[in-house]
Amino acid sequence: MPTLSICIVNWNTGTLLRACLQSIYRHPPSEPFEVIVVDNASHDGSAEMVRQEFPQVVLIANAENLGYARGNNQALQRARGEFVLLLNPDTEVFPDTLDRAIAFLRAHSEAGAIGAKQIFPDGRVQPSVRGFPTPVNLLCEVTGLARLFPHSRKLGGYRMRWFSYDSVAEVDQPMATFLMAPRAVIEQVGWMDEAFPLFFNDVDWCYRIKQAGWKIYFVPEVQILHHGGASTRQVRLSALRESHRALEAFYRKHYRGVLNPILYALCITAIRLGGVLRVLYARLRGGR
């Protein structure tokens, strides 16, 4: 029985996926592990590449693009490990990355999940930790207060521009580029909500993990190389629209009936207005 199950959902990032898998087998954990790749109907030969070059990988080749959340759920259904890692295909692990992640979870029984320090190819540290999009955090972002006071923990609680990436810290939502959790936690809170096919599925998952009483940590000693946005860059404008649709769905799920109706309506209006403005801005910049 494997100690670690590594779950990777891929869509048209075959070259990066190859490098990711090579890094895993070059720097494997010291305990038994398995790798599960779900390919969402890529047309770049990704699935065939995995079959030919990595026959030891469990490959699930979908006939259509089922989305990130359902793809991960397919992998989670097959996963047998004590620990489960959601890993993006545009990443590469370093020596000891996987062993350090497992060791941290074993040493912290209260941890429901951990995120890694993500390094861009040019050596920069990627901002990869955010707070939950609470009404205060959302409205501070939309009104610009978070940018005016970037070092304020109260006004900048969503993007957390003040966050230090040098120390272990309890956080709300590390990016699911690398998100490792014990199987027991997943069995308790359930799989990803497929109502969030591309965005906010990880936010919803982290929210449920913390609601269940677990802690989530950012662990800087666990590091990965992250090329960044390889799949979503292919559909930039669609991704922008979907991100705001997903945020609105997150609010309907977790805040409708909880917030004051006026405050809830204000938040939904802010989400929709922000979505329209971001798409218009992207169009003016040629989709970039």
DSSP characters for 233-263?
GGGHHHHHHHHHHHHHHHHHHHTTTTS-HHH
Please give the pLDDT value at position 277. 72
Q: Which residue has the tokens 């997903």?
A: 246
Nearest in space to 179 (alpha carbons), one of 213, 206, 160, 214: 206
Please give the pLDDT value at position 286. 66
Averaged pLDDT, 124-149: 93
What is the distance, to the nearest Å, from the Cα of residue 37 to the centroid of all Cα atoms in its chain? 16
- pLDDT digits over 156-196, tens only? 999 999 999 999 999 999 999 999 999 999 999 999 999 99
d(CA 168, CA 110): 14
Query: What is the number of residues in the chain?
Result: 288
- Report the share of the chain in percent with pLDDT over 90: 83
What is the distance, to the nearest Å, from the Cα of residue 232 to the centroid of all Cα atoms in its chain? 13
Per-position b or e across 173-183, b if 16+ CB within 10 A of its CB: bbbbbbbbbbe
Q: Check whether 11 has a pLDDT greater than 80.
A: yes
Nearest in space to 128 (alpha carbons), one of 178, 85, 80, 82: 178
What is the distance, to the nearest Å, from the Cα of residue 265 to the centroid of all Cα atoms in its chain? 28
Which helix H or strand E contains 139, and what residues bound it?
Answer: helix 135-143
Q: Check whether 16 has a pLDDT greater than 80.
A: yes
pTM for this one? 0.92
d(CA 236, CA 114): 28
Q: Which residues 6+ apart lie within 8 Å of 266 measured at CB?
A: 139
If you average pLDDT over every residue of the chain, what do you get? 93
- pLDDT digits over 61-95, tens only? 999 999 999 999 999 999 999 999 999 999 999 99
Q: Check whether 230 has a pLDDT greater than 60.
A: no
- pLDDT digits over 254-277, tens only? 999 899 999 999 999 988 887 777
- Contact of 50 with 150, CB cutoff 8 Å: no
Q: Check whether 234 has a pLDDT greater than 60.
A: no
